[in-house]
Amino acid sequence: MIQVVGHRANDFIYSSISLCVCFPQFLCALPRREGYEFFVGQWTGTELHFTALINIQTRGDAAASQLILYHYPELKEEKGIVLMTAERDSTFLNVAEAQCIANQVQLFYATDRKETYGLVETFNFRPNEFKYMSVIAELEQSGLGAELKCVQNQDKT
């Protein structure tokens, strides 16, 4: 998967690479047939590693990443774009699922809505106040993942 992150989104994400140091982790919700599966994202420089929450809970630090997003900001100044590639573990995620998670990075980190970005702040600084269902509510409100849910429901029949 290769994606070009547009100017507005990359400005926020890449002016906030330093913010990613302050807000190095966040949670994404991936629609599944029966509910949602949570993935924890961890920034390391310009890389964003995602691991299923259940794997972190059961394997701790030994849990492997199921998705890694690599960002290349070299063209940001000259062309106003940032390239992104992804490496996924195909035994855990298909391309549409990886895309859904990647889109959530823009949803939560490159937003004008204080309520949405506030979830990132709360997750990192006040985890005891963080509500997992708020991530699902934002995801559903945005419409991200809706087509993934439809495909999964069609596969069920």
List per-residue pLDDT tens for the chain, 157 residues long. Answer: 545 555 555 455 555 455 566 788 999 999 998 899 999 999 998 899 999 999 999 999 999 999 999 988 887 788 878 788 999 999 999 999 999 999 999 899 888 888 888 999 999 999 999 999 999 999 999 988 777 765 555 555 4
pLDDT at 71: 86
How far apart are the C-alpha atoms of 61 and 55, rounded to whole Å? 9
pLDDT at 93: 97
- Amino acid at site 93: L
Give yes or no for a contact between 56 and 63, defined as CB atoms under 8 angstroms apart. Answer: yes
How far apart are the C-alpha atoms of 112 and 124, rounded to whole Å? 19
- Give the CA angle between residues 114, 115, 117 to the nearest 5°: 65
Per-residue exposure over 76-94, b if at least 16 CB sit within 10 Å of its own CB, e if not: beeeebbbbebebeeebbe
Residue with tokens 């691991």: 51
Give yes or no for a contact between 1 and 95, defined as CB atoms under 8 angstroms apart. Answer: yes
pTM of the model: 0.82
What's the DSSP call for residue 73?
Answer: G
Neighbours of 97 (CB within 10 A): 22
Q: How far is CA 67 from CA 44, 93, 126, in A?
A: 13, 8, 26
Residue with tokens 């895309």: 99
Greatest CA separation found in the chain? 49
pLDDT at 157: 46
